[in-house]
Structure 1
Amino acid sequence: MKVLLFLITLFYSVSFCAQKSIDNDYFRNPLNIPTVLSGTFGELRSNHFHSGIDIKTQGKEGLNIYAAADGFVSRIKVAQYGFGKALYVTHSNGFTTVYAHLSKYAPKIENYIKKIQYQKENYQTGNLFFKNDKFPVKKGEIIAYSGDTGSSGGPHLHYEVRDTKTEKIINPLLFGISAKDTKPPTFNSLKIYALNGNARINNQNKSFVIPLKNTAHQKHTVNSITASGAIGFGVNVFDRLNDANNKNGIYSLEMKVNGSLVYYHDVKTFSFAESKFINLHIDYKHYKTYKRKYQKTYKQKANRLSTYKNLVNDGKITIEPGLNYQVTITAKDFKGNNSSITIPIIGVKNNVLYTTPKDTTNYKIVAQNFQKFTKENVTVAFPKNTFYQNLYLDFDVDNGIATIHNPTVPLDKKFTLTFDVTKYSDIEKQQLYIANVSNPKYPNYQYTIKKENTFYTTSKTLGKYALLKDTSKPKIKTLYFKDNQWISKLNTLKVKISDTGSGIKNYRATIDGQWVLMQYNHKKGILTYNFSDKKLVGSKHIFKIVVSDNVGNTNSYSTTFFKKQVN
């Protein structure tokens, strides 16, 4: 009886979830143009899976963004990076839709946000939460305009659907948005892995790329492989839609061995908390070395992604001597278009005695323990479970550069890196900062916390770090106008700012002594003030801007302009 009740409960739970997920009529398209995607849900990004779909806006900004359904604006955030200008609408069906990289909001919302920005004298608002009576919206109502704010690579709308209670994200294509797609995914290459010291692939105990041979349209095979022991596979694969040339992510990946399913994952839904496990889902070492992502068709022990289903032995294949195997890997897009690779394997006896020597250093990492190491003036501390597995750490300090292993090993948590700065003068301490110098041509500023005799930072990226000095002030240049010039025809005032050292930290602009809101496009280094924000008194005005970098070097610029007021 208990089993029967469980099955009945499970049936209704699954039916409810399915009904909730595939209601194609509830939400409308947030744009009134043909849907062309520049990014798909769940595709592989740097350190995370893409949490929505990116809808192209025909290369334009300012297109109308419509509420996908009745609801209310529950959250707004204006940030310099990330989503830029974002808006969240909560609906009565238990979902919240998210609209990001906006240029501005609908007038009543825009006016409200600008009042807050002027009150705080800050472009960034942080998270603003609203009850259902503040900004109610109707399905099809204009709520914002498309843009390119935040960490956007060009004008587009980032659109998400989230479960309101759990914040779990769901593929928006399940809700009826459709983009034309008759093209199957494309396999670029295949990689095979020896998963332990006893495994052999073509008499080798290592991993390598296997050339693909085309047998038909998007059907591939490879030369027969001899193997023994535990092996796995990885694929570099992408998908294209009909009306766009950009490479998108696939929807699902499966692997069968002799016709039986041993591995499957898809991107219907996942949570933000598990997105970091992308670095275990892909061949992280290969990606960091060659900038090419291979999705593995087997799961590592520490990987807690919920997107895997029907795994047999975690997708790892054990090859027995004297047996033949046929492995088929199939990739599909959301519309069901598919491509496949067929891999013939012959099981052979392992007669090779040579194995790769194990790495050893003076710094052993036991993943479950807190560990701290010091050399010369540098200390590195790793919290428990920073690493996914035990290893011997390469740690050295040479000529001021601290090498903390190499960036091909993914981390689950941030470690702390501390430099002793006792030997430096107070003036030098002010000018110094910690930087990642793994690429010496492009040192990357690390947020540096300064104590009296120690500087420290936290990071999830291994590699080379050093103390660098920045003695240069930021640069400031006005655009499209000069000192003492009439600019009555200009609707905006633009300034270009830059810094060659630690990078821009903050800026403050005033007109006639009053703070003005300047939007910073960090990709172009341009600050923009819109004259519609405030009515200027008189025709002669003084514009002043002060810009500081991350170590406190400050530059200021002042200019006079003339502008006739338009009533």
Structure 2
Amino acid sequence: MRLFIFFLLISRAVIAQNAYPKDYFQAPLDIPIQLSGNFGELRSNHFHAGFDFRTLQKEGLEVHAAADGYVSRIKISPFGNGKAIYINHPNGFTTVYCHLQTATGAIADYIKKAQYKEQSFEVEMFPKANELVVKKGQLIALSGNSGSSGGPHLHFEFRDTKTEKIINPMFFGLDKKINDTKKPIISALYVYPLDGATVNKSKRPLLLNVNLQKDGTYLASKVLSNGKIGFGITADDYNNNSSNRNGVYKVQSYLNGKAVFGYQFDTYSFDEMRYINALIDYSRYKKSYQRVQKLFMNTPFNLSIIKTDADNGIVKVSPNINLVYRIEVADFFGNTTIINIPIGFDSSSPVVEQEANNSNYFVKAKTDNIFSKNNMTVTFPAGTFYDNFAMDFAVNGNVLTLHDDSVPVHSSFEIAIESDQYSADQKNKVYIADLSSNGRLGYNSTTVKGNVYSAKVRSLGKYTLGIDTTPPVISIARSIEGRWLSNEKTIQLSISDSGSGIKSYNGYLNGTWILFEYDYKTRKITHYFDDTLVAEGANDLKVIVTDQVGNSTTFEAHFFRSQK
């Protein structure tokens, strides 16, 4: 049986790899590949969708088209992927290039034309197949640090053009450019007592000790239980090309030689991304920032990469039966780390009891739930949560408490708060705010009908009504008033808002809209004089910044510039 499962898993991997061309695409950068992030890596609320290529800790490296095709989509945003270019290829795949500093050539011209047409830095375009044709190796952009990037790098993806599923870039020949002889590292192994069971006299999850054996495998301390249990691991992978910690490719567990739970990162859809919060021990992550990958499911969820037995990876421990649980963690190159865990039955009374739970409301994950108290109502549609749980729900004065953020939320739910304390003029400045532990208010898009304010949100915690009557702040490091700027390449302003946050920013030069690029990480907007809209001699600049509830601030300056 073990041999059959082994060949089945090997066949799956071989079929997957043979489905993709190995020599069709080139790497998008000219430098040797060093990964700062790999495919499937565990990230906040999502699995990583591609490769993050190091760019020598700087911006401005040449980015090349991986193969012939045409630019099918361009998205420019201060957030997320930042400046991104998508190229469709005739063999049915799409490559994606993100966090760019700037596009080049005809692509750059196409973007700027659209931005001036829409009078917006943020644009999304879908060029036709004959508009922006590119050849393999053609320069399409310069690497950067735009969007939510934490440092200069190039994020690079492969997608199936028809289904838009993302695919592991290793399948397209990039594995040939990475040297990897290092085994993954399992840094933590946990056992979870389920449904009232006891593990090693504890009703709480336990960290197990492991010891290296002569054959290179690891042996865990024996697990003694009297019911249902599950296991979880913290695992990372490394390669020879860089010192970065990356995600593992494949996890598979066996019970007495039978495959019971596993997954490998070949391909998946964007709709599945948020299931990472069901796969990991989310509560532990929120408390300690440790991502423990669970090898069982209390309640099944629709993550397509998971293959499991009828018990969803849960181990049932019975009297007079000894079990061996084995975990194998591998990278794409087959380097594998193995842990064996002996399991036996023990009916001893627990020494460590479950944590006390004083929550006063019970939430059923698969049905609609509505809770009301005083002037506040919360509506959870079916599927908002992954598992049933006891929730702390309370209203104290003007603060709504919805448990805490240790329980993951899969989809949005609605909060409604009724209040008559605001005048008609104030109502459009009021919003439902999430309340952080330090008292800071976070804006949520809010609608008002009569005296009822409502918002869709996607996390548990504390909420209240906030009001923002303070306009944004615009500043400049060095005044340009009355100055000659003939040698300057840009005008740069800092913008910020202490209330609901920035919604829009618009600049006008001599009464005509001009492009300002926004970097939310530095809170700066920048206009480049290469737009050629500046007049010879005197110029009048006006910048208007507006927050989410309509408060606005205007910056004006008069400067001079010579084009000669």
TM-score (norm 2): 0.92
- 1:393-412 correspondence runs (5 A): 393-412=391-410
Distance verdict in 2 for CA 1:396–1:351, change over 3 Å: closer
CA distance in 2, matches of 1:262, 1:130: 47
Q: Which of the residues 46, 62, 68 maps onto 1:64?
A: 62
Secondary structure in 2 matching 1:286: helix
- 1:70-469 correspondence runs (5 A): 70-126=68-124, 128-177=125-174, 178-197=177-196, 199-215=197-213, 219-309=217-307, 311=309, 313-349=311-347, 363-469=361-467
RMSD over aligned Cα, in angstroms? Answer: 2.6
Report the CA distance between 1:59 and its aligned residue.
1.6
Equivalent position of 1:31 in the other structure: 29
Deviations 1:389-439 (A, max 9, x none): 333432111131101122222223211011112222234434432221143
- Which segment drifts farther, 39-48 or 177-186? 177-186
Decide whether the 8 Å contact of 1:322 with 1:348 is kept in 2: no
Distance verdict in 2 for CA 1:142–1:17, change over 3 Å: farther
Distance verdict in 2 for CA 1:345–1:377, change over 3 Å: same
Decide whether the 8 Å contact of 1:280 with 1:300 is kept in 2: no
CA distance in 2, matches of 1:350, 1:420: 53
CA distance in 1, matches of 2:24, 2:336: 29
CA distance in 1, matches of 2:555, 2:128: 42
- Which segment drifts farther, 438-447 or 490-499? 438-447
Equivalent position of 1:543 in the other structure: 541
Distance verdict in 2 for CA 1:382–1:541, change over 3 Å: same
Deviations 1:292-332 (A, max 9, x none): 11001113433111112354632211222233333232222
Decide whether the 8 Å contact of 2:189 with 2:233 is kept in 1: yes
Report the CA distance between 1:212 and its aligned residue.
4.1
Distance verdict in 2 for CA 1:219–1:544, change over 3 Å: farther
Equivalent position of 2:3 in the other structure: none
Q: Which ranges in structure 1 are unaligned for 5 or more consecutive residues?
A: 1-9
- Which segment drifts farther, 171-180 or 243-252? 243-252
Equivalent position of 1:510 in the other structure: 508
Decide whether the 8 Å contact of 1:421 with 1:429 is kept in 2: no
CA distance in 1, matches of 2:384, 2:464: 22
Decide whether the 8 Å contact of 2:298 with 2:387 is kept in 1: no
Distance verdict in 2 for CA 1:256–1:14, change over 3 Å: closer
Deviations 1:512-545 (A, max 9, x none): 1111111100001011111101242212212211
Q: For this pair of structures, how many residues does the alignment match? A: 553
Distance verdict in 2 for CA 1:493–1:219, change over 3 Å: farther
Distance verdict in 2 for CA 1:206–1:15, change over 3 Å: closer
Decide whether the 8 Å contact of 2:204 with 2:352 is kept in 1: no
Q: Which amino acid aligns with 1:493?
A: I
CA distance in 2, matches of 1:238, 1:459: 32
Report the CA distance between 1:481 and its aligned residue.
4.6
Equivalent position of 2:554 in the other structure: 556
TM-score (norm 1): 0.91
Report the CA distance between 1:120 and its aligned residue.
1.1
Secondary structure in 2 matching 1:240: strand
CA distance in 2, matches of 1:522, 1:216: 53
CA distance in 1, matches of 2:217, 2:522: 43
Q: Which amino acid aligns with 2:476?
A: T
Decide whether the 8 Å contact of 1:21 with 1:175 is kept in 2: no
Distance verdict in 2 for CA 1:208–1:443, change over 3 Å: farther
Q: Which amino acid aligns with 1:322?
A: N
Distance verdict in 2 for CA 1:219–1:400, change over 3 Å: farther
Secondary structure in 2 matching 1:188: strand
Distance verdict in 2 for CA 1:14–1:408, change over 3 Å: closer
Distance verdict in 2 for CA 1:547–1:493, change over 3 Å: same
Distance verdict in 2 for CA 1:421–1:440, change over 3 Å: same
- Which segment drifts farther, 531-540 or 475-484? 475-484
Q: Which amino acid aligns with 2:199?
A: I
Distance verdict in 2 for CA 1:220–1:438, change over 3 Å: farther
Report the CA distance between 1:369 and its aligned residue.
3.0
Decide whether the 8 Å contact of 2:70 with 2:130 is kept in 1: yes
CA distance in 1, matches of 2:170, 2:13: 19
Q: Which ranges in structure 2 are unaligned for 5 or more consecutive residues?
A: 1-7
Decide whether the 8 Å contact of 2:166 with 2:269 is kept in 1: yes
Equivalent position of 2:5 in the other structure: none
Decide whether the 8 Å contact of 2:47 with 2:276 is kept in 1: yes
Decide whether the 8 Å contact of 1:184 with 1:218 is kept in 2: no
CA distance in 2, matches of 1:418, 1:249: 40
Q: Which amino acid aligns with 2:151?
A: G
CA distance in 2, matches of 1:563, 1:94: 50
CA distance in 1, matches of 2:360, 2:319: 39
Q: Which amino acid aligns with 1:64?
A: E
CA distance in 2, matches of 1:476, 1:117: 22
Decide whether the 8 Å contact of 2:201 with 2:351 is kept in 1: no
Q: Which amino acid aligns with 1:167?
A: E
Decide whether the 8 Å contact of 2:29 with 2:62 is kept in 1: yes
Report the CA distance between 1:355 and its aligned residue.
7.3
CA distance in 2, matches of 1:211, 1:468: 49
Q: Which amino acid aligns with 2:136?
A: K
Secondary structure in 1 matching 2:333: coil
- 1:32-51 correspondence runs (5 A): 32-51=30-49
Determine if the alignment matches structure 1 residue 497 to structure 2 residue 464: no
Report the CA distance between 1:54 and its aligned residue.
0.9
Decide whether the 8 Å contact of 2:73 with 2:126 is kept in 1: yes
Secondary structure in 1 matching 2:245: coil
Deviations 1:477-530 (A, max 9, x none): 113553222222211111111122221111111111111111100001011111
Decide whether the 8 Å contact of 2:166 with 2:267 is kept in 1: yes
Q: Which amino acid aligns with 2:268?
A: F
- Which segment drifts farther, 247-256 or 345-354? 345-354
Report the CA distance between 1:67 and its aligned residue.
1.1
Q: Which amino acid aligns with 2:137?
A: G
Distance verdict in 2 for CA 1:561–1:77, change over 3 Å: same
CA distance in 2, matches of 1:18, 1:525: 44
- Which segment drifts farther, 283-292 or 299-308? 299-308
Q: Which amino acid aligns with 1:187?
A: I
Percent of residue pairs bearing the same amino acid type: 40
Report the CA distance between 1:386 and its aligned residue.
1.9
Distance verdict in 2 for CA 1:246–1:18, change over 3 Å: closer
